[in-house]
Amino acid sequence: PPEDNRALGACTAFEGDVLIVESEHDDRVPHANIVSYIGAFRRARSMTYRVIQGADHALTDVAARRAYSTLLTHWTSEMVLGARRR
């Protein structure tokens, strides 16, 4: 729980936009950890969660790296355009 973990505790106070990206075949970060982070961002203005299908932790596959870059570029653009409208 966030009360027992400094990183998760900091997430509970964050009020900005959040992007969480999970690799489908991640051997370093268990899915349960991702779920904990998703639950910790209680005050986030927006939350986007995506899974890169077929990807490992290091994004060693070219297609996985492209998918991540595309995802990040689109999300960043959406956040910047959204901020301009506020």
> Environment class of residue 11 by beta-carbon count within 10 Å: exposed (0-12), middle (13-18) or buried (19+)?
buried
The domains located in the chain, with CATH, are: 2-85 (3.40.50.1820)
Quick count: other Cβ atoms within 10 Å of Cβ 4?
7
Which pLDDT tens digit goes with each residue over 23-59?
999 999 999 999 999 999 999 999 999 999 999 999 9
- Residue in 52, 63, 6 with CA at minimum distance from that of residue 25: 52
Question: For 2-26, what is the mean pLDDT?
Answer: 94
Is the confidence at residue 2, as pLDDT, over 90? no
Q: Cβ(20)–Cβ(33) under 8 Å? A: no
Element (H, E) at 48: strand 46-52
